[in-house]
């Protein structure tokens, strides 16, 4: 299996949105997704994993600078590895690549990377283990952030302030 992990290019926004729609159906709005990914790739970035033999998208993670890029803080969301590819270190590599690219992104604004944060279900032990592995730590638990039914959300924060 040969996998490439890198920033998505502008002409990949539509294909990525389609691949996620194929995976999640109507839970993922295709037109909204295309336009959002176009914006993200243009102004922020998306890390993708593709199987170089099939050209299929097999993983992703989205990065958005918070408020003003000169603050050096960003949010991570939409971290996902497709079934059949999980448990092979791809999620780890996606997040390590995202952290490297976030440093470069903020360097363009002459600021160091300060914080990255991500929300995950408090019951999502795999995701929490992945985030911990690449340097995030548990922050506050938040109740009913996205729906009334779901369990608590765990805020995970990576602090880069004392790192080179
Ligand atoms: C969470 C997710 C992205 C992990 O991706 P992955 O490619 O399988 O992760 P990796 O293979 O790099 O594993 C990273 C760490 O996660 C943990 N992990 C991975 N698979 C696991 C499993 N089946 N059981 C328990 N922990 C597991 C381990 O700590 C692992 O580190 P280790 O191999 O050094 O022990 C993937 O499971 C996924 O897409 N889940 C569904 C979507 C989701 O929940 N996303 C997070 C939303 S916030």
Question: Which domain covers residue 41, as residue numbers?
Answer: 3-159
Asked if 49 and 16 count as a contact pair (C-beta separation under 8 A), the reply is no
**Inside any domain, residue 61:** yes
User: Which residue, judged by its Cα, is nearest atom 42 of ligand 1?
Assistant: 80
DSSP three-state, residue 125: helix
pTM: 0.96
**Inside any domain, residue 164:** no
CA of 150 to the centre of ligand 1 (A): 20
**Inside any domain, residue 40:** yes
Following DSSP, what letter does each residue of 2-58 receive, concatenated? Answer: -EEEEEPPGGGHHHHHHHHHHHHGGGS-HHHHHHHHHHHHHHSEEEEEEETTT--EE
Q: How far apart are CA 17 and CA 157, in angstroms?
A: 27
**Inside any domain, residue 144:** yes
User: Which residue, judged by its Cα, is nearest atom 4 of ligand 1?
Assistant: 91
Domain count, the chain: 1
Question: Looking at residue 81, which CATH number applies to its domain?
Answer: 3.40.630.30
pLDDT in tens, 101-152: 999 999 999 999 999 999 999 999 999 999 999 999 999 999 888 888 877 9
User: Which residue, judged by its Cα, is nearest atom 44 of ligand 1?
Assistant: 127
pLDDT in tens, 24-60: 999 999 999 999 999 999 999 999 999 999 999 999 9
- Name which of 49, 44, 37, 56 is nearest 4 in CA terms: 49
Question: Where does ligand 1 bind, in terms of residues with CB under 6 Å?
Answer: 79-81, 86-92, 120, 124, 126-127, 129-130, 133
What stretches of 25-164 show up as alpha helix (H) in DSSP?
A: 30-43, 90-107, 125-133
User: Which residue, judged by its Cα, is nearest atom 24 of ligand 1?
Assistant: 126
């Amino acid at each position: 299996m040969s996998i490439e992990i890198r920033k998505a290019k502008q002409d990949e926004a539509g294909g990525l949105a389609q691949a996620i729609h194929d995976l999640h159906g109507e839970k993922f709005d295709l037109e909204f997704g295309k336009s959002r990914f176009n914006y993200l790739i243009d102004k922020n970035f998306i890390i993708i994993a593709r199987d170089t033999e099939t050209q299929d998208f097999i993983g992703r993670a989205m990065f958005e600078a918070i408020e003003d890029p000169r603050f050096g803080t960003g949010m991570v969301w939409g971290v996902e590895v497709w079934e059949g590819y999980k448990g092979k270190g791809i999620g780890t590599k996606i997040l390590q690549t995202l952290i490297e690219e976030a440093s470069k992104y903020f360097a363009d604004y002459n600021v160091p990377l300060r914080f990255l944060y991500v929300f995950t279900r408090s019951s999502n032990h795999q995701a929490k283990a992945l985030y911990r592995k690449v340097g995030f730590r548990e922050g506050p638990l938040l109740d009913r952030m996205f729906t009334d039914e779901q369990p608590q959300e765990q805020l995970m924060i990576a602090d880069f302030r004392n790192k080179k």
